[in-house]
Structure 1
């Protein structure tokens, strides 16, 4: 049986909003750029080869995603999906299920949705989140034929800068 890989990457540290600035337009801090590069290095060192990169439309997630695909050495392209911004775990599951043909998905998004999704998929509950600091990676495996649902994934790696 094949295994699907789901790699969740939380955006790195972002600037606080300036007066009149939208939350979506906040860029990474200088330290956040370093975190994004560290996450990209870690993904490359562990052989990540996403077929697709799904990303929230926010500036900070797009910057983080671009760092990742630049370092990985292949560019599957970034698919921006507005549903990832402020997503619930249910929203994220729907986004992931729509990419069922992909063997490896890299999804770049936000908390609390990502940490709750990890807990839901691995433990079957949404109240056991371990937290996902900025720049953190949760790499999960799901049996290729299984739907993405509570308790269906195994956590293979959890890393943060």
Structure 2
């Protein structure tokens, strides 16, 4: 019997509290000009009126907004011409990037073959750390050109 009374008391207590409301937010300023935000009002605070936040996600498969009737349209021939221009531009960029990559690889090979006097340790051994430090910018440049080639190639593959 006591458990029933306890459950009934908890249920009545939940009903008595009513709906849950978000706490009020106050913007407070101090004499130094600093602004703070709080849920407790103090002197020099004013209550902020905020719009409710929509926390529900957008429905799945919601239809896209249709294109307005007055939206400018391009005829097929013009679009094909633009696509052809884009392809030619991308192909010329790809050729230039491949050329730059080859030049960067040649410069890297030249730097890797070169050993500066400051990179030699006492006794004639070569300090690998110093060589790596000097050669790293050349490796980075080669990697950059290779990434650019990959991106341009992917973009050309996405063309219609």
- Shorter-normalised TM-score: what interval? under 0.3
> TM-score by structure 1 length?
0.19
Could you say which structure has the higher helix fraction?
Answer: 2
Which structure is larger by alpha-carbon Rg, 1 or 2? Answer: 2
In the superposition, the TM-score normalised over structure 2's length comes to: 0.19
Question: Whose RCO is larger (CA < 8 A, sep 6+)?
Answer: 1
